[in-house]
Amino acid sequence: MAKSPMRVVVTGAAGQISYSLLALIARGDVFGRDQPVDLVMLDLPFAKDALEGVVMELQDCAFPSLKSVTATCDQTEAFTDIDVAVLVGAFPRKPGMERNDMLAKNAEIFKAQGALLNTVAKKTVKVLVVGNPANTNCLIAQKYAPTIPKENFSALTRLDQNRATAQIAAKAGVTSDKVSQITIWGNHSATQYPDAWHGKVNKDGAEVAASAAVNDDAWLKSDFITTVQKRGAAVLAARKLSSAMSAAKAIGDHLHDWIVGSEGRWVSMAITSDGNKYGVPEGLIYSFPVTCEAGVWTVVNGLEISEFSREKLTVTAEELSGEAKYAAEFLEKASA
Ligand SMILES: NC(=O)C1=CN([C@@H]2O[C@H](COP(=O)(O)OP(=O)(O)OC[C@H]3O[C@@H](n4cnc5c(N)ncnc54)[C@H](O)[C@@H]3O)[C@@H](O)[C@H]2O)C=CC1
Ligand SMILES: O=C([O-])CC(=O)C(=O)O
């Protein structure tokens, strides 16, 4: 029997990440070629013409599983009856702005979008926040959508996981598909902790620990971590634009594995820390290793955490707690 269409909204749809992402979704690479998609694209009014151009291009791709395309600048229209919300649009950091200024600007956007999802989206909606600061924006949207289960909110750290996986693959002399169980802990920021200590590499047909395949613990404890932490900044410096093709690929990976299933593979997702077994404070959107089946993620529990790793897990949790506190205080002041 044919599947019923899935209604998917992408915000920031006229931006550079979306330009790569929309085709992945429309072609069926994310939810499956047999899954019809009603695609909804939201952006700000100034981008209306650009949005219309993207609609024309999507039509011109003649994708069989793309059932309909709607472009709108009306948030209510965009979020009504939505199954999947990919929140890419955000206020970018401008020259001279502190991180807290950006947090404050985005707190307002994600408060409004959370509240709207709460009233007009399906209660089963799955929300992926990409716009930075992604973890804290996600926390805010979740807070203002109390009738949607907390587990339905996630933020993107899959790009960091893919970056880390590629670094391990290059160092071990294998292709990326031979590397598994690389984890990103914490915030999508320079405090994130890329962790290869539980990783595996399939080398010449045999599965070995990533640390053995790499055979350079000093690198795993230093340059590997900083390269992944600073990769976004390195791409920005080179391209004069932030990562877009790789971000879109990672969004597709995240959505596919969450909604369709990860088939036992570990993936990293920033999700609610409530009930975790790693001592991460409750109430944060923190990246953990998870497995997913049909829209439900489960944290991979029971991993041994060394003292080296524990310290790193704490640093990134402290940064997230600080961001959450700042955003909450800002929103309280704004509504007083
Ligand atoms: N979590 C992650 O791994 C990554 C996150 N990012 C973040 O993703 C976001 C988007 O990046 P790009 O596509 O490169 O930016 P972009 O500036 O090319 O596009 C953003 C689009 O969002 C729109 N927008 C802004 N506020 C909006 C709102 N309230 N509602 C709807 N649309 C809105 C803008 O008009 C613009 O068209 C940025 O915040 C960036 O920092 C980027 C790469 C990786
Ligand atoms: O720094 C940015 O704006 C883009 C980003 O999040 C990344 O590339 O990881």
DSSP 191-209: T-EEE-TT-EEEETTEEEE
Query: Residue 98 pLDDT > 80, yes or no?
Result: no
CA angle 312, 318, 324 (to 5 degrees): 140
Cβ–Cβ under 8 Å, residues 38 and 122: no
DSSP 60-86: HHT-TTEEEEEEES-HHHHHTT-SEEE
Query: Catalytic site residue 254?
Result: no
157: helix, strand or coil: coil
Look at ligand 1, atom 37, and give the residue with the nearest C-alpha.
Answer: 15
Residues with CB under 6 A from ligand 2: 132, 159, 232, 235-236, 242-243
pLDDT at 97: 74
The candidate with the shortest Cα–Cα distance to 73, out of 27, 97, 42, is 42
The per-residue pLDDT for range 215-245, each reduced to its tens digit, is: 999 999 999 999 999 999 999 999 999 999 9
Cα 158 to ligand 2 centroid, rounded to whole Å:
12
- Percent of the chain at pLDDT > 90 equals 92
Query: Residue 336 pLDDT > 80, yes or no?
Result: no
The per-residue pLDDT for range 41-91, each reduced to its tens digit, is: 999 999 999 999 999 999 999 999 999 999 999 999 999 999 999 999 998
Q: What is the pTM of this model?
A: 0.98
What average pLDDT does this structure show over 240-266? 97
pLDDT at 163: 98
Assess: ipTM above 0.95: yes
Residues 6+ apart with CB under 8 A from 72: 40, 41, 42, 78
